[in-house]
Structure 1
Amino acid sequence: MNKQSIAKLNLFLIGLSSRFDDNSSIFKSINVIYKTGLKNFKGTGQYDNGNIKFNFNGITNTISISELLEIICNEALNYDSLTLTYSERGTDILIEADNKNVKMKNIEVKDESPKESTSYEFNETSTLLNRNYYIKVGKADNLLKKIGIMSDNGKIKNDKIRKYNQIDHYVELFDEMLTKLPRNKVINILDCGCGKSYLSFVLNYYLTEVKKIKCHFIGLDYKESVIETSKKMADNLGYRNMDFFAIDIKDYVPKNKINIVMSLHACDTATDMALATGIKLNSDAIIAVPCCQKELLGQYKYEPFKNILKYGVLKSRMADILTDGMRSLMLEARGYDVSVVEYISPLETPKNIMIRALKTKEENEDLMSEYFNLMSILNVYPSLYGFLNEW
Structure 2
Amino acid sequence: MSTINKQNINKLKLFLMGLENRFSENSSIFKQVNTTYISGLKEFKGTGLYNNGDIKYNFNGKTETLNISQLFSNIIKEAESYDSLSLIYSERGSVILISADNKNVTMKNLDVDPIDAEDSNNVSSKSASASTRGTTSTLLNRDYYIKIGSADNLLKEIGIMSKDGKIKNDKIRKYNQIDRYVELLEGILDKLPKNEIVNILDCGCGKSYLSFVLNYYLTEVKRKKCHFIGLDYSESVIESCRIMAKNLNYRNMEFQAIDIKDYEPSKNIHVVLSLHACDTATDMALALGIRVNSDVIVAVPCCHKEFLSQYSYEPFKNILKQGVFKTRMADILTDGMRCLMLEAKGYEVSVVEYISPLETPKNTMIRAIRTSTENDKAMDEYISLMSSLNVYPALYSFLNDWEV
Q: Which residue of 2 aligns with 1:364?
A: 375
Q: Deviation per CA, 1:31-73, whole angstroms, max 9, x where unpaired?
A: 0000001100011000000000000111101010010001001
Q: Give the CA deviation at 1:348.
A: 1.1
Distance 1:139 1:46, change over 3 A: same
The question of whether the paired residues in 1 share the 8 Å contact of 2:204 and 2:231 is answered with: yes
Task: Answer whether contact 2:137 2:147 (CA < 8 A) is retained.
Answer: no
CA distance in 1, matches of 2:245, 2:340: 36
Of the three residues 337, 359, 372, the one matched with 1:326 is 337
1:355 paired to 2:357? no
1:260 aligned partner: 271
- Counterpart in the other structure of 1:184: 195
Q: Say which SS state the counterpart of residue 184 (structure 2) adopts.
A: helix
For the 8 Å contact 1:141–1:150, the answer to whether it is kept is yes
Q: Which amino acid aligns with 2:267?
A: N
Conserved 8 A contact 1:113-1:138: no
The question of 1:89 aligning with 2:92 is answered: yes
1:100-111 correspondence to structure 2 within 5 Å: 100-110=103-113, 111=130
Contact 1:118 1:155 in 2 (8 A): no
Greater than 4 Å deviation, 4+ residue runs:
111-119
Counterpart of 1:140? 151
Q: Cα–Cα, structure 1 residues 310 and 281, in superposed 2: closer, same or farther, change >3 Å?
A: same
Q: CA deviation at 1:108?
A: 2.1
Maintained 8 Å contact 1:113/1:139? no
Aligned residue for 1:53?
A: 56
Matches within 5 A, 1:208-227: 208-227=219-238
Whole-Å Cα distance in 1 between the matches of residues 196 and 238 of structure 2? 27
- Would you say 1:295 and 2:295 are equivalent positions? no
SS of corresponding position for 1:151: coil
In the alignment, structure 1 residue 385 sits paired with structure 2 residue 385: no
Report the alpha carbon displacement of residue 225 of structure 1 after superposing the two structures with TM.
0.3
Cα distance between partner residues in 1 of 2:359 and 2:260? 29
**1:80 partner amino acid:** D
Q: Rate the CA distance shift 1:95–1:361 in 2: closer, same or farther, 3 A.
A: same
Task: Give the aligned partner of residue 25 of structure 1.
Answer: 28
2:41 alignment partner in structure 1: 38
Instruction: Find out whether 1:193 has 2:207 as its counterpart.
Output: no
Give distance in 2, aligned partners of 1:316 and 1:308: 11
TM-score (norm 2): 0.93
Give the 5 Å matches for 1:159-174.
Answer: 159-174=170-185
What is the one-letter code of the residue matched to 2:105?
V
Paired residue type of 1:304: P
Aligned pairs for 1:110-149 within 5 A: 110=113, 111=130, 114=133, 119=138, 128-149=139-160
Q: Which residue of 1 aligns with 2:117?
A: none
- In 1: Cα distance, 2:213 partner to 2:27 partner: 20
The one-letter amino acid paired with 2:175 is Y
Q: Is the 8 A contact 1:45 1:52 kept in 2?
A: yes
Whole-angstrom distance in 2 between the partners of 1:173 and 1:117? 19
Letter in 2 for 1:254: P
Match of 2:288 in 1: 277
Does structure 2 conserve the Cα–Cα contact (< 8 Å) formed by 1:45 and 1:53? yes
CA distance in 1: counterparts of 2:136 and 2:330, whole angstroms: 43
Q: 1:118: how far off?
A: 5.8
Does structure 1 residue 240 correspond to structure 2 residue 238?
A: no
Number of equivalences: 383
* Structure 2 gap ranges (5+): 114-129
- Give the CA deviation at 1:112: 6.1
- Deviations along 1:156-180, one digit per CA (max 9) or x if unpaired, are 1110000000000000111110232
CA distance in 2, matches of 1:167, 1:292: 20
CA shift for structure 1 position 116:
10
Runs (5+) with no aligned partner, structure 1: 120-127
Aligned to 1:78, the other structure's residue is in SS state coil
TM superposition shift of 1:189: 0.3
Question: 1:261, 1:283 within 8 Å by CA — same for their partners in 2?
Answer: yes
User: Is contact 2:275-2:300 (8 Å) kept?
Assistant: yes
CA-based RMSD: 1.2
Cα distance in structure 2, aligned partners of 1:357 and 1:115: 33
Verify the 8 A CA contact 2:135 2:148 in the aligned structure 1. no
Q: Are residue 77 (structure 1) and residue 80 (structure 2) matched? A: yes
Q: 1:316 — aligned with what?
A: 327
Q: 1:88 to 1:229 in 2, by over 3 A?
A: same
Note closer, same or farther for the CA distance 1:116–1:377 as it changes in structure 2 (3 Å cut). closer
Q: Report deviation, 1:283.
A: 0.5
Whether 1:156 aligns to 2:167 is yes
TM-score, normalised to structure 1, is 0.96
> CA 1:386–1:115 in 2, change beyond 3 Å: closer, same or farther?
closer
1:115 is displaced (CA, Å) by 6.5
Say which SS state the counterpart of residue 288 (structure 1) adopts.
Answer: strand
Deviations 1:113-140 (A, max 9, x none): 6479865xxxxxxxx2111110000110
